[in-house]
Structure 1
Amino acid sequence: MMSSMAAPSIEKNWFGHPRGLTVLFLTEMWEMFSFFGMRAILVYYMTMHLDMEQEYASLVYGAYAAFVYFTPVFGGMLADRWLGKSRAVVIGGSMMALGHFMMSSEALFYPALCMIALGNGLFLPSLASQIEGLYRDGDVRSKSAYNIYYVGINLGGFLAPLVCGTLGEAFGWHWGFAAAGIGMLLSLVIYLCGRRYLPPEPKRGVEARAARPPMDRAARDRFALLIGIAAIVVIFRGAYEQNGNTIALWADTGIDRQLTASWSIPMTWFQSINSLAVFIFTPVLVARWARLAKRGVDTPLLARMAFGATIVGASYVALGLVAAWSEAHGTRASWVWLFVWFVVFTIGELYILPVGLALFGRMAPEGFRATSIATWFFAGFFGNLLAGGLGTLWSLMNHGLFFVLIGAVSGLSAVLLYMLSRRHRGVGQQGEVGGTAVLAR
């Protein structure tokens, strides 16, 4: 249930929405700048600067990314029950900023990764779960709020590789990590300055448990279904998370990035295409779904997610064919192929990740929203472990065959999501869950 007793300051609007949405938008934009900026250069830093073997670097990358999704499970619980969302955001953001600056020291590499992951666990679910509290019951603006928030996220994701990646490639990887740390500090300052526009803290601890509705059988069944969906998303993420791991390596070794005789496209810039495509295709897809809904065509969200996983799987298979052809002819593939792959890949992502997290947020029982959102991120934990394990095959097999294998993994998740959609036809309709786009790391 959304807050029906909003503070007076929340009622004042910026751009047609409560001021708090702008605060959350900018806070998450700069947090994502730091997150994606660090991620864009991490695998290059490990293999080129720390001289790690590719298989080991893949495992480290997968383990780090996994714990980024694991810690929000407990961070969301801490925020719901004891710390409160505002305090959790401040503590988590401070830890993340410190971790990014610690990356400037090779000796602190592993402690820095741990610091960032732990801080993220407090920050991420606590920030996203404040959106609902900005709106009164029945406020239709709440649905579009998630789309606006998602655009802010991807604005940070678009800028990050261009800034942090360019600094890292041109001046040294430590400069890229420092830029990510500055982005995190900006995120924290914006949140502290705009805290008065955010929802009041809900009750916590013993008082909150007394006020929270009991977890009845219907709520338990709903959580069981969400856990089943999350288990399938684990498989999908094993394929999806290759975009910052083996795809990044292929951008370095398998792509002809030369545009002129004296300049080639920086390999980190390709990571920005994903966010750029989100800007372009999110309004297109939302408008299409709205038109279909007006005509009475309302695709269940689980079926929509299955379609997205199918698109991602097909994109990997196509990339595998390109890689196999170029390797057979002893040449590098044109950069255009990787650009097109990112575009198609992102369209598939928009059908599954933001839609899936919207489903988790809307289906959460009252009093357990942050915990429910954290459960979605828990799927990312196992998914990234799977992705890291799959990534170790990159150095052991033909790259074309590797991409086809990854496409098959995504295809398997599509089949399972489709089967679940057929079994639970009444779950995930647009009218029930909203069909809006939410944070989707």
Structure 2
Amino acid sequence: MPDPLPDGTAPSDAFPMPVASIRHPTGLWVLVTTEAGLAFSLYGFESLLVLYLVSYLLHPNVADHVWGMGLFLPLIRSLYGAASPSAIAAAITGLFLSLIYATPLLGGFMADWRLGRIRTVIIGGTLLVAGLLGLAVDQTFLLGLLLLLVGLGCTRGILPAQVGALYPGNDPRRADAYQLFVLGIQGAAILSPALCGTVATRYGWHAGFLTSGIGMFIGLNVYLFGCRFLPRDQPMHLRPASVPFTPSDRKSLLALGVLLPVLAIATLSNTDIFNGYLLWGDQAYQLEILGFRMPTSWLVSLDGFVSTFTVLGIIWFWRAWNRRRPDPGEMPKILIGSTVCSLAPLLLALGSWLQPGLHSVSLLWGIGFHLVNDVGFGLCYATGMALFSRVAPAAISATVVASYSLHLFVGNLVAGKVAGLVTKMPWTRFWLLHVALGIAGTIALFAISRIFRQQFTRDESA
């Protein structure tokens, strides 16, 4: 058997792992395709959720037929103080989107200590398909959401951890692999909201949700046939009952834990794209193009289209930079990204100020926003995954990498509250609030990077 990788798993015999080569192992492409299928389902669903709630499900004659809604709505009103349909829809969306980034921590624990990574992902993919089928029926909407939460918990954190397990030590291909991993997500993010939104417009909301399920169905089958190219799971009976942590491990875990809520605030403008931004865009943008009104969900496809090119640009830039200069490391890249991401909502604030009124803001302001935001978030997100994968103690790497999604859990909780303000305050002030929060988060990130400099600095000799 080959030597174990840093996270305690063994590399598959099916692929070579030349550290000096830029060529990536076959397992990466299996994981990229699986994640793309998952992202197709997730982005398609997310692009419809808040609009579906406002336009259809929260109407009394519909909501009364949803199993459990009589208990769920009073809970949402008490937690968020939401009264109007748009505020309730934003609160439900924020709560759900936050929870889908919290459950991967449970999935990581199950993968590390109970089921193994491959089995956990297979179970999760199956539950995701079942959950999306549940959304096609009014009565089972909340049950479908529950299945989606569990299914996403068993997949989203595990797949990135499996990417990291393909590369030994400080293999320079690791950060590049995560950018390619994210690039697969971008392709799905372009296609899925446009396709699902168009189907929902023409054939109804339920048909849109069913369409989103196609991606996970394909991704699950790719994973089933390609898992032989992935690092094998260590048998459960060979794993220690408890993990001894060194003082260095404990400080690394503390550093990563402190990083999460601050990163959530610094990248809030990106998190709110699936919530307040859609509610605002539905009212503010000029969406009529040559007599055709673009579905609001297409704004998510626009973001995916723009972010695909920004991710490609980021990959090209750092490859060119590293040929002549030393790599700056993960934290400097994250700080640059969060700064750029924080400033992106200034364009929406300016557009709202110069072109006030319903359906009066040019979509050109939105294109500018997505361009700036996606450059910033692209620098933060994949680089953050690489950082967590490298710094995590080997024995619990799946759990720690899964915990990276907790910054999106916190971000969506905050976005669920902030998005409810879109109908309560001037639009210019609404977006300036995003700028202020992002800048505050970036300043805190800088302070954390100095305090935990030793933990975040990469040891090139390893």
Return the TM-score normalized by structure 2. Answer: 0.86
User: Which stretch of structure 1 is more off in the superposition, 48-57 or 171-180?
Assistant: 48-57
> Which residue does the alignment assign to 2:284?
254
Q: What is the distance in 1 between the residues matched to 2:205 and 2:317?
A: 42
Shift of the alpha carbon at 1:293? 4.2
Shift of the alpha carbon at 1:430? 6.2
Shift of the alpha carbon at 1:2? 6.1
Q: What is the distance in 2 between the residues matched to 1:422 and 1:140?
A: 24
RMSD (Å), alpha carbons? 2.5
Is the aligned partner of 1:8 residue 2:30?
Answer: no
- Picking from 400, 403, 408, the partner of 2:436 is 408
- Picking from 45, 48, 53, the partner of 2:55 is 48
Letter in 1 for 2:130: L
1:11-22 superposed matches below 5 A: 11=16, 16-22=23-29
1:292-371 superposed matches below 5 A: 292-296=321-325, 298-327=327-356, 332-371=360-399
Is the aligned partner of 1:241 residue 2:271?
Answer: yes
User: Which stretch of structure 1 is more off in the superposition, 80-89 or 140-149?
Assistant: 140-149
Q: What is the distance in 1 between the residues matched to 2:402 and 2:11?
A: 24
> Which residue does the alignment assign to 1:439?
none
What is the DSSP-based 3-state SS (H/G/I as helix, E as strand, rest coil) of the residue aligned with 2:394?
coil
Q: What is the distance in 1 between the residues matched to 2:371 and 2:345?
A: 12
| Percentage identity across paired residues of the two chains | 27
Q: Does the C-alpha gap of structure 1 residues 10 and 273 become closer, same or farther in structure 2, counting only changes over 3 Å?
A: same
> Which residue does the alignment assign to 2:225?
193
* Alpha carbons 2:267, 2:342 under 8 Å: kept: no
Shift of the alpha carbon at 1:231? 2.1
* Alpha carbons 1:101, 1:181 under 8 Å: kept: yes
Q: For residues 215-239 of structure 1, give each alpha carbon's deviation from its aligned partner in whole angstroms, at most 9, with x where no partner exists.
A: 1100000110001111212323544
* Alpha carbons 2:114, 2:236 under 8 Å: kept: yes
Return the TM-score normalized by structure 1. Answer: 0.90
> Which residue does the alignment assign to 1:218?
248
Shift of the alpha carbon at 1:178? 0.2
Letter in 2 for 1:396: K
Q: What is the distance in 2 between the residues matched to 1:40 and 1:51?
A: 17
1:51-90 superposed matches below 5 A: 51=58, 53-90=85-122
* Alpha carbons 2:108, 2:158 under 8 Å: kept: yes
> Which residue does the alignment assign to 1:270?
299
Q: What is the distance in 2 between the residues matched to 1:299 and 1:101?
A: 45
Q: Which runs of 5+ in 1 are unaligned?
A: 435-441
> Which residue does the alignment assign to 1:437?
none
Letter in 1 for 2:373: F
Q: What is the distance in 1 between the residues matched to 2:430 and 2:453?
A: 35
What is the DSSP-based 3-state SS (H/G/I as helix, E as strand, rest coil) of the residue aligned with 1:288?
helix
> Which residue does the alignment assign to 1:28?
35
> Which residue does the alignment assign to 2:44?
37
What is the DSSP-based 3-state SS (H/G/I as helix, E as strand, rest coil) of the residue aligned with 1:150?
helix
> Which residue does the alignment assign to 2:77?
none
* Alpha carbons 1:95, 1:115 under 8 Å: kept: yes
Q: For residues 385-437 of structure 1, give each alpha carbon's deviation from its aligned partner in whole angstroms, at most 9, with x where no partner exists.
A: 11101111112111121111111111111111122223344453466699xxx
* Alpha carbons 1:255, 1:334 under 8 Å: kept: yes
Q: Which runs of 5+ in 2 are unaligned?
A: 1-5, 60-84
